[in-house]
C-alpha cells in the first residue's frame, strides 16, 4: 500500500465541480457515470491482499497511559494506515488534511490524539463538525467508549432532536461538541456556543458537507474561531471548493493520503439485470431468499420509495426496517439499532446511511435504485467489505443497459 505525506502548499487534485445543494437533476453534475461497467469488479477470495505493516503500535504512541488502556480494552492493537500516519502529527498539534477511503478508521485517527490533548489540558474545547446526525451520534459513542473513566465529557448537537435538551447539556462543561452544521449554527446564533473558545476543529466527511450545501455555514463557523488553532480536515475525495477551504483556513497542513483505489478490493461488485417478465421486486426477493444474504443494506433514492419497499418486503415475510428523512430521530436510531443487533436482517435506506456509519458484518449492499453519482456509489458499497472481511455489492439495472 502506498502512502503520501507532504507539507507542500495545497494544490487542487481534481477538476470535479459540485452544485451548492444536490437535489434533482443537478446531482448528476459531479462525476456522473455514463456506463454501468463501473458496477462490476469481481473479487478472487484467494487473491493475496497487501499486507500493511504499521510504523507504530497504539502502545508506542506518546499518550496518557489511561487512554492507552481504554484503547486496548476496545480491541485496538495495531493502527490502520490512516491512524498510523495521522496520529503522530495530531499529537504534535499540526494541521491535517486526511484523505482515505471510507471504512479506514478515520474516526479513531482523530479522536484518540484529541482525547490525549484534553488529558493534557482540561480546558481544551474541541468542535467536530459532520454532515449527518447518525455520524455525529456514532462519533460521540466512540468518544465515550475511548474516554471511559477519564472524566472527559461530550455533547451531541444535531437536528431532529430537541434543541432545548441540547442547550441544557451545553450549560455543563463539555470538552467535545459534536454536531451537524445546521444545528450548530442555530446554537451559535443563540449565543449558546462561543466559538472564540475553541482552538481545535475537525471537519469529517468534508466532501459530503460540500455536497449537502453546507459550505457557507462551514466558512462562517471557521471565521468565528481563533486564528491560532489546530484544524483537521478529513475527506474521501477532494474538489476545488474543499481545496479553497484548506488554503484559507489551514496553516501549512500535513497532507496524509492513504487512498489507493475508489472501491475496496474486498467488495465483489456485480449487476442484476431486470426486465422482460420479471418484476424488480421479484428479482430482489429471489436474492434475499438466499442463505448468504444474511445482513443486507438496500439503497433507494427517495424517502417514499424506501418506505414503500420496506413495507412491501415486510409483508412478504422479510424482517425489514427503513431509515430516511421522513422518520424522526428516535425511529431512525431504533431502526439502525435493530439492524446493528441483527434483530432485522434487511435495512432499506436513502443515501443518509451511505457515509460514515460503521455497521459490522454487512454481507451485501444492493443498489435497488441507481445512485446519482459515482461518489455516491463508492460510499454506498463502502458499507460492506469492512475490517478485512469480504462483501458483495449488487446494482439493479435495466436489461437493456449495455456494458
User: Is 157 a residue whose pLDDT tops 50?
Assistant: yes
Last residue of a domain, one of 257, 286, 318: 257
Determine how many CB atoms are found less than 10 A away from the CB of residue 168: 12
Average the pLDDT over each of 3-12, 98-107, 141-150, 218-227 and give the range with the smallest value. 3-12
Residue that finishes a domain, picked among 257, 280, 304: 257
* CATH number of the CATH domain containing 295: 3.40.50.300
Let me know: does 343 contact 273? Beta carbons within 8 Å: no
Residue 8, pLDDT score = 38
Which contiguous run of DSSP H or E holds residue 5? strand 4-6
Provide the percentage of residues in the chain whose pLDDT is more than 70.
82
Please indicate, yes or no, whether residues 295 and 165 belong to a single structural domain of this protein.
no
pLDDT value at 151 more than 90: yes
Most confident of the ranges 12-26, 141-155, 254-268, 360-374: 141-155
Shared domain check, 231 and 115: yes
Range of the domain at 297: 267-398
Model confidence over 234-279: pLDDT tens digits?
988 788 888 999 999 999 999 998 865 555 667 889 999 888 777 8
Looking at residue 379, its pLDDT comes to 81
144 and 189 co-located in one domain: yes
pLDDT score at 173: 92
Tell me what pLDDT residue 356 has. 58
Residues 247, 271 within the same domain: no
Pairing of strands 96-99, 176-179: unpaired
**Total domains in the fold of the chain:** 2
**Residue 24 lies inside a defined structural domain of this protein:** no
Q: How far apart are CA 244 and CA 12, in angstroms?
A: 8
Alpha-carbon distance of 54 to 258, in angstroms, equals: 12
pLDDT the model gives residue 55: 87
288 inside domain: yes
| Band (352; pLDDT cuts 50, 70, 90) | confident
Least confident span in 15-29, 124-138, 377-391: 15-29
pLDDT of 281 higher than 70:
yes
Q: Are residues 247 and 122 in the same domain?
A: yes
Calculate the alpha carbon distances from 150 to 27, 115, 120, 131, 321 in Å. Answer: 44, 9, 12, 28, 36
> Is 279 found in the same domain as 252?
no
| 388 pLDDT higher than 70 | no
Reference 256, options 77, 113, 59; nearest CA is 113
Question: Measuring CA to CA, how many Å separate 363 from each of 12, 80, 138, 268, 383?
Answer: 36, 22, 21, 11, 9
Residues in CB range of 157: below 8 A, 6 or more apart: 136, 166, 170, 177, 178, 179, 180, 183, 184, 187, 193
Same domain, 80 and 160: yes
State the maximum Cα–Cα separation within the chain, in Å, rounded to a whole number.
67
Please report, for residues 88, 112, 232, 233, the alpha-carbon distance to residue 4 in angstroms, rounded to integers and kept in the order given. 15, 22, 17, 16
Residues 190 and 238 in one domain: yes
- DSSP letters spanning 278-309: --HHHHHHHHHTSTT--SEEEE-SSHHHHHHH
* pLDDT at 127 > cutoff 70: yes
Per-residue burial over 298-321, b if 16 or more Cβ lie within 10 Å, else e, is: bbbbebeebbebbeebbeeebebb
Residue 351, pLDDT score: 86
Domain stop point among 257, 284, 315 = 257
Q: What is the pLDDT of residue 358?
A: 73
Q: Is residue 302 part of a domain?
A: yes
Q: What is the mean pLDDT of residues 383-388?
A: 78
pLDDT at 238: 80
pLDDT given for residue 125 in this prediction: 97
Instruction: Judge if 252 and 346 occupy the same domain.
Output: no
Q: What is the dihedral of CA 284, 32, 19, 17, to 10 degrees?
A: 150
Q: What is the pLDDT of residue 266?
A: 77
- In the predicted structure, residue 123 carries a pLDDT above the cut 50: yes
Parallel/antiparallel/unpaired status of strands 254-257 and 96-99: parallel
Q: Is the pLDDT of residue 5 over 70?
A: no
Tens-digit pLDDT profile for residues 315-342? 999 999 999 988 887 888 899 999 999 9
pTM of the model: 0.71
Q: Is residue 310 part of a domain?
A: yes
Q: Between these two residues, 55 and 312, which has the higher pLDDT value?
A: 312
Mark whether 161 and 273 lie in a shared domain: no
3-state secondary structure of 322: strand
Same domain, 283 and 381: yes
Query: What is residue 293's predicted lDDT score, i.e. its pLDDT?
Result: 96
Within a domain: residue 262? no
Helix and strand numbers, DSSP H then E, in the chain: 13, 14
| 32: in domain | no
Question: Do residue 195 and residue 295 come from a single domain?
Answer: no
- For residue 18, being part of any structural domain is answered with no
With a CB cutoff of 8 Å and minimum separation 6, the contacts of 278 are none
Evaluate whether residue 27 is within a structural domain.
no
Amino acid at each position: 500500500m502506498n502512502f503520501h505525506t507532504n507539507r507542500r502548499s495545497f494544490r487542487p487534485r481534481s477538476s470535479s465541480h459540485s452544485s451548492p445543494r444536490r437535489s434533482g437533476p443537478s446531482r448528476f453534475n459531479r462525476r456522473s457515470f455514463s456506463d454501468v461497467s463501473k458496477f462490476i469488479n469481481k473479487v478472487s477470495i484467494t487473491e493475496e491482499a497487501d499486507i500493511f505493516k504499521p510504523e507504530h503500535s497504539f502502545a508506542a504512541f506518546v499518550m496518557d497511559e489511561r487512554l492507552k488502556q481504554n484503547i486496548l480494552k476496545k480491541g485496538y492493537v495495531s493502527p490502520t494506515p490512516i491512524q498510523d500516519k495521522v496520529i503522530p502529527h495530531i499529537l504534535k498539534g499540526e494541521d491535517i488534511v486526511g484523505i482515505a477511503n471510507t471504512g479506514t478508521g478515520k474516526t479513531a485517527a482523530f479522536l484518540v490524539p484529541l482525547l490525549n490533548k484534553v488529558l493534557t489540558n482540561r480546558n481544551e474545547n474541541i468542535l467536530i463538525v459532520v454532515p449527518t446526525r447518525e455520524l455525529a451520534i456514532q462519533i460521540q459513542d466512540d468518544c465515550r467508549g475511548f474516554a471511559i473513566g477519564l472524566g472527559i465529557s461530550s455533547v451531541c448537537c444535531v437536528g431532529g432532536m430537541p434543541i432545548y435538551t441540547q442547550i441544557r447539556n451545553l450549560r455543563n462543561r463539555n470538552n467535545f461538541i459534536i454536531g451537524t452544521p445546521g444545528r450548530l449554527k442555530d446554537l451559535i446564533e443563540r449565543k449558546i456556543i462561543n466559538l472564540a473558545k475553541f482552538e481545535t476543529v475537525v471537519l469529517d466527511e468534508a466532501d459530503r458537507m460540500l455536497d449537502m450545501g453546507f459550505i457557507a455555514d462551514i466558512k462562517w463557523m471557521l471565521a468565528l474561531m481563533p486564528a491560532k488553532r489546530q484544524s483537521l480536515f478529513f475527506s474521501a475525495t477532494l474538489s476545488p471548493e474543499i481545496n479553497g477551504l484548506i488554503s484559507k483556513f489551514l496553516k501549512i497542513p500535513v497532507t496524509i493520503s492513504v487512498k489507493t483505489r475508489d472501491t475496496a478490493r474486498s467488495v465483489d461488485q456485480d449487476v442484476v439485470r431486470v426486465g422482460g417478465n420479471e418484476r424488480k421486486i421479484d428479482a430482489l426477493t429471489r436474492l434475499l431468499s438466499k442463505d448468504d444474504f444474511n445482513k443486507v443494506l438496500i439503497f433507494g433514492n427517495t424517502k417514499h420509495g424506501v418506505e414503500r419497499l420496506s413495507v412491501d418486503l415486510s409483508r412478504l415475510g422479510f424482517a425489514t426496517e427503513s431509515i430516511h428523512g421522513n422518520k424522526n430521530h428516535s425511529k431512525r436510531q431504533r431502526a439502525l439499532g435493530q439492524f446493528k443487533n441483527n434483530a432485522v436482517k434487511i435495512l432499506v435506506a436513502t443515501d443518509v446511511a451511505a457515509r460514515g456509519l460503521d455497521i459490522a458484518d454487512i454481507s451485501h449492499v444492493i443498489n435497488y435504485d441507481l445512485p446519482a453519482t459515482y461518489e455516491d456509489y463508492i460510499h454506498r458499497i463502502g458499507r460492506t467489505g469492512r475490517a478485512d472481511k469480504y462483501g458483495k455489492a449488487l446494482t439493479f439495472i435495466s436489461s437493456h443497459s449495455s456494458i
